[in-house]
Amino acid sequence: METNTMTVAARGSAGLGANVGEVFRTLAYADGDAMAFRHWRGEGWRDLTWSAFAAEVAEIGAANLAFGLAPGDVVCVLARTRPEWLAADLGAVTCGMVCAGIYPTEPADKVAYVLNDCGARVVFVDDAEQAEKLRAARAKCPQVEAVVVIEPSATPTDDPWFVSLAEWRRAGRELIEARPSVLEAARASAGAASPAILIYTSGTTGPPKGAIVTHGNIVYQLAHAPEVIGLQPGWRRPSFLPLCHVAERLFTYMAMAGGMISCFVDGPNELLAAMPELRPQFMLAVPRVYEKLHAMPWPGSRLSLRISGPRSGWRGGGRSLPRTWLRAGSFRAKRQPPGGGTRTDP
């Protein structure tokens, strides 16, 4: 992976750490029994504590090392927005590796392009559809050595190229038991100027390009953005936008640093079904999602949306929104709200 970087934040921020791995360790050990995430699975919520999530991240990171990956190597994630996406991401980044996300809607040829461009050796996918994309693209990306499948039932059993996430994590546990300090050494390998994640452009003006975000960039945001935005510990917020996009990725990091609970749902339709129970205090979405929420019936209560922007009075669905949260952002022509953050009050 050829790099051409300009470091915006050259030093770690006081109280958090010099790299993402140190920040995550601080957050994970602050209160291991506290809820970190929730995941809507159709039949209800599955809660995930900090200690359980930290164990998953550690085992994935150690498994990467056991497989032969080293700091600076690239891992890709091709999956829907879910806690395992974030675990695969942080499992790599906290061990000094680089993680690149791929939109789950991309066809096999575009998936192969990103894999070749970033030089990924390991790819995490979540279901049979994404596994088949990798199988179709296999001849075009010979540097990919393993495909880790999140859903147990989606792991092909006729091809050792595919490995279940459970098996991958088991290899990580074995390495941690044999070499307890292996993760600490890998974590210390990343400096503020080291690449942490790659964000690929949409490719509308040519082939997608990977934009490098360094550890220093992320740590600086985590140290300052939660307070500037006004995030509060314990607030709930839905996570449903693609994590391969820089907005959802970094805001999910910020929510972690700010003590918020990210609640994972699979896309806007699942979000609408989960909203009556979720009742978030903050959300990040595009305008169309807010319009759908405003049009929903809310028996026994009224949803109050405070939309980020310097003006008030935007009208949705023929009705004025109750209140406007005066924060960073701007209205476009015809007073349409931006796709920025929104607080929702029960």
Regarding whether 25 and 90 lie in a shared domain, the answer is yes
Regarding whether 129 and 223 lie in a shared domain, the answer is yes
Regarding whether 219 and 145 lie in a shared domain, the answer is yes
Regarding whether 169 and 65 lie in a shared domain, the answer is yes
Tens-binned pLDDT, residue by residue, of the chain (346 aa): 544 433 333 333 435 678 999 999 999 988 899 999 999 887 788 999 999 999 999 999 999 999 999 999 999 999 999 999 999 999 999 999 999 999 999 999 999 999 999 999 999 999 999 999 999 999 999 999 999 999 999 999 999 999 999 999 999 999 999 999 999 999 999 999 999 999 998 767 888 899 999 999 999 999 999 888 888 999 999 999 999 999 999 999 999 999 999 999 988 888 888 888 888 999 888 888 788 777 776 655 555 555 544 333 333 333 333 333 323 222 222 223 334 444 444 4
Regarding whether 173 and 49 lie in a shared domain, the answer is yes
Measured CA to CA, the distance from residue 115 to residue 345 in angstroms comes to 42
Q: What is the pLDDT of residue 293?
A: 75
The answer to whether position 63 is within a domain reads: yes
Q: Considering only CA atoms, give the Rg of the chain.
A: 20
Measured CA to CA, the distance from residue 305 to residue 301 in angstroms comes to 13
Regarding whether 289 and 169 lie in a shared domain, the answer is no
Q: How many domains does the chain have?
A: 2
Place of tokens 């939660």: 226
Place of tokens 């990343």: 190
DSSP letters of 270-283? HHHHHHHHH--S-E
The burial of 132, by beta-carbon neighbours within 10 Å (0-12 exposed, 13-18 middle, 19 or more buried), is given as middle
Regarding whether 320 and 171 lie in a shared domain, the answer is no
Of 199, 229, 259, which residue is a domain's last? 229
CA distances to 41, 279, 342 from 49, rounded to whole Å, are 17, 20, 25
The answer to whether position 271 is within a domain reads: no
Measured CA to CA, the distance from residue 27 to residue 166 in angstroms comes to 25
The answer to whether position 266 is within a domain reads: no
Regarding whether 219 and 144 lie in a shared domain, the answer is yes
Q: What is the pLDDT of residue 276?
A: 80
Of 213, 229, 245, which residue is a domain's last? 229
Helix (H, G, I), strand (E, B) or coil at 260: coil
The answer to whether position 186 is within a domain reads: yes
Measured CA to CA, the distance from residue 34 to residue 53 in angstroms comes to 11
Residue 190 near residue 218 (C-beta atoms within 8 A)? no
Regarding whether 97 and 172 lie in a shared domain, the answer is yes
The 10 Å Cβ neighbour count of residue 346 is 11
The answer to whether position 312 is within a domain reads: yes
Measured CA to CA, the distance from residue 280 to residue 263 in angstroms comes to 9
The answer to whether position 242 is within a domain reads: no
Of 207, 229, 251, which residue is a domain's last? 229
Regarding whether 165 and 42 lie in a shared domain, the answer is yes
Helix (H, G, I), strand (E, B) or coil at 310: coil
Helix (H, G, I), strand (E, B) or coil at 203: coil
Regarding whether 315 and 187 lie in a shared domain, the answer is no
**What is the reported pTM?**
0.84
DSSP letters of 52-66? HHHHHHHHHHHHHHH
Place of tokens 């960039």: 217
CA atoms within 13 A on the CB side of 247: 12
CATH number of the structural domain spanning residue 77: 3.40.50.12780
Measured CA to CA, the distance from residue 117 to residue 161 in angstroms comes to 20
DSSP letters of 28-42? HHH-TTSEEEEEE-S
Regarding whether 330 and 198 lie in a shared domain, the answer is no
Query: Domain residues for 155?
Result: 20-229
The answer to whether position 246 is within a domain reads: no
Q: What is the pLDDT of residue 87?
A: 98
The answer to whether position 252 is within a domain reads: no
Q: What is the pLDDT of residue 331?
A: 24
